Amino acid sequence: MTKETVKTRPARYGMVIDLDRCNGCGACMIACAVENNVPACPEGVTDRTGITWMRVQKLSNGQSFPDSRTAFIPVMCQQCGDKTPCVSVCPQQAVEVDEASGIVDQMPQRCLGCRYCMVACPYHARYFNWWDPAWPNGMERTLNPDVAPRMRGVVEKCNFCHGRYQEARAKAAVDGAAERAVEYTTACAEACPTGAITFGDLDDPGSEVAQLAKSENAFRLLEKLGTGPKVHYISKRAWVRAAAGSSLAAETREVRHG
Amino acid sequence: MDRGLIIRGVRRCSFGRFALWMVPWALLLIVGCYAAFLCLYEGLHHTNMDNRFAFGLWIFLDLTVIALGAGAFFTGFLLYVMKRKELQAVINSAVVIGFICYSGAVAVLAVDVGQPLRAWFTFWHPNTHSMLTEVTFCISVYLTVLAIEYLPVILKNRKLRQVPSFLVFEFQLHKLMYVLAGVGTFLSFFHQGSLGGLYGVLHARPFVFREGFAIWPSTFFLFILSAAAVGPSFILLTTWLVSKVTRKELVKPAVFRSLAHVSGVLLIVYVLFKSIDTLIWINGTSPGLGFAAYDYYAWKPFGTWILFTEIIVLGLVPALLLLNEKRLPSRGWLILAAMLASSGVALNRFVLTIQTLALPTLPFDQFLSYWPSWQETATFLAVVAYGVLVYSFSFRYLTLFPQEKELSRI
B203–A226 C-beta distance less than 8 A: yes
Specify the pLDDT at position B152.
86
B204–A89 C-beta distance less than 8 A: no
State whether residue B365 sits within 8 Å of chain A by CB.
yes
Enumerate the β-bridge partners of residue B213: B216
Secondary structure of residue B34 in the 3-state scheme:
helix
| Partners of residue A122 in chain B, C-beta under 8 Å | 204-205, 361-362
Q: Which CATH class is domain A13-257?
A: alpha beta
d(CA A96, CA A117): 12
Q: What interface predicted TM-score (ipTM) does this complex get?
A: 0.92
- What average pLDDT does the segment A103-125 reach? 95
Q: Are strands B212-213 and B216-217 parallel, antiparallel or unpaired?
A: antiparallel
Identify the residue among A19, A225, A239, A256 best suited for mutation to test binding to B, counting B beta carbons within 10 A and taking the highest. Answer: A225
| Partners of residue A106 in chain B, C-beta under 8 Å | none
Contact A163, A35 (CB under 8 A): yes
SS3 content of chain B, % helix, strand, coil (to 5): 75, 0, 25
Secondary structure of residue B405 in the 3-state scheme:
helix
Q: Give CA separation, A95 vs A79, A152, B102, in Å.
A: 12, 17, 28
Specify the pLDDT at position A255.
40
Specify the pLDDT at position A249.
44
Specify the pLDDT at position B238.
95
Question: Does the pLDDT at position B311 exceed 70?
Answer: yes
Question: Does the pLDDT at position A251 exceed 80?
Answer: no
Specify the pLDDT at position B410.
59
pLDDT band at A179, cuts 50/70/90?
Answer: low
d(CA A86, CA B54): 14
Contact A36, A52 (CB under 8 A): no
Kindly report the average pLDDT of chain B as a whole number: 92
- What average pLDDT does the segment B401-409 reach? 83
Which residue of A lies nearest to B360 if distances are taken between CA atoms? A122
Question: Does the pLDDT at position B11 exceed 50?
Answer: yes
Count of structural domains, chain B: 1
Give the whole-number percent of chain B exceeding pLDDT 90: 70
pLDDT band at B189, cuts 50/70/90?
Answer: confident
pLDDT band at B133, cuts 50/70/90?
Answer: very high
Contact B207, B252 (CB under 8 A): no
Identify the residue among A22, A112, A231 best suited for mutation to test binding to B, counting B beta carbons within 10 A and taking the highest. Answer: A112
Specify the pLDDT at position A257.
38
| Partners of residue A156 in chain B, C-beta under 8 Å | none
d(CA A110, CA B342): 37
Query: Per mean pLDDT, which range of A110-119, A232-241, B141-150 is the poorest?
Result: B141-150
Which residue of B lies nearest to A112 if distances are taken between CA atoms? B115
d(CA B145, CA B191): 14
Q: Which residues contact B410 (CB under 8 A, 6 or more apart)?
A: B249
Which residue of A lies nearest to B53 if distances are taken between CA atoms? A119
**Axis-axis angle for helices B374-397, B57-68 (nearest 10):** 20
Would you call A57 exposed, middle or buried from its count of C-beta atoms within 10 A (0-12, 13-18, 19+)? middle
Contact A78, A221 (CB under 8 A): yes
- Determine the distance from the C-alpha atom of residue B326 to the mean position of all C-alpha atoms in its chain, rounded to a whole number: 27
Contacting B residues, span 41-60, partner chain A, CB-CB under 8 Å: 43-45, 49-55
Please name which of A183, A247, A193, A165 lies closest in space to residue A18, comparing C-alpha atoms.
A193
Q: Give CA separation, B69 vs B22, B265, B352, in Å.
A: 23, 19, 19
Question: Does the pLDDT at position A82 exceed 70?
Answer: yes
Q: Which domain holds residue B378?
A: 3-409
Residue-wise pLDDT tens digits, A43-69: 889 999 999 999 999 999 888 999 999
Would you call B215 exposed, middle or buried from its count of C-beta atoms within 10 A (0-12, 13-18, 19+)? exposed
Residue-wise pLDDT tens digits, B358-379: 999 999 998 999 999 999 999 9
How far away is chain A from the Cα of B274, in angstroms, using its nearest Cα? Answer: 23
- What average pLDDT does the segment B324-335 reach? 86
Residue-wise pLDDT tens digits, B43-65: 999 999 999 999 999 999 999 99
Which residue type, as a one-letter code, is found at position B69?
A: G
pLDDT band at A232, cuts 50/70/90?
Answer: very high
Please name which of B103, B115, B132, B101 lies closest in space to residue B39, comparing C-alpha atoms.
B115
Specify the pLDDT at position A156.
97
Specify the pLDDT at position B1.
72
Question: Does the pLDDT at position B21 exceed 80?
Answer: yes
How far away is chain A from the Cα of B283, in angstroms, using its nearest Cα? Answer: 17
Question: Does the pLDDT at position A258 exceed 80?
Answer: no
Q: Give CA separation, B82 vs B5, B75, B86, B178, B182, in Å.
A: 34, 10, 11, 11, 11
CATH number for the domain including B13? 1.20.1630.10
For the CA atoms of B80, B81, B85, B89, what is the dihedral angle to 10 degrees?
A: -50
Specify the pLDDT at position B4.
79
Please name which of B262, B264, B239, B259 lies closest in space to residue B322, comparing C-alpha atoms.
B264
Contact A91, B122 (CB under 8 A): yes
Which residue type, as a one-letter code, is found at position A89?
A: V
Contact B239, B70 (CB under 8 A): no
Specify the pLDDT at position A250.
42
More confident residue, B42 or B77: B42
Specify the pLDDT at position B169.
84
- Determine which helix (DSSP H) or strand (DSSP E) holds A31, and give its type and residue range: helix A27-35
Question: Does the pLDDT at position A2 exceed 60?
Answer: no
Query: What value does the CA radius of gyration of chain B take, rounded to a whole number of Å?
Result: 22
Secondary structure of residue A136 in the 3-state scheme:
coil
CA angle B88, B90, B96 (to 5 degrees): 120
Dihedral (CA of A182, A188, A192, A196) sign: negative
- DSSP H stretches of helix in B77-124: 88-112, 121-124
DSSP state of A181: P
d(CA A77, CA B204): 14
d(CA A12, CA A99): 9
Residue-wise pLDDT tens digits, B161-183: 888 888 888 888 878 878 888 88
Residue-wise pLDDT tens digits, B135-165: 999 889 889 888 988 888 888 888 888 888 8
Q: Please give the biggest Cα pair distance in chain B.
A: 70
Question: Does the pLDDT at position A201 exceed 50?
Answer: yes
CA angle B238, B244, B247 (to 5 degrees): 130
Question: Does the pLDDT at position B351 exceed 80?
Answer: yes
Contact B102, B94 (CB under 8 A): no
| Partners of residue B203 in chain A, C-beta under 8 Å | 83, 85, 225-226
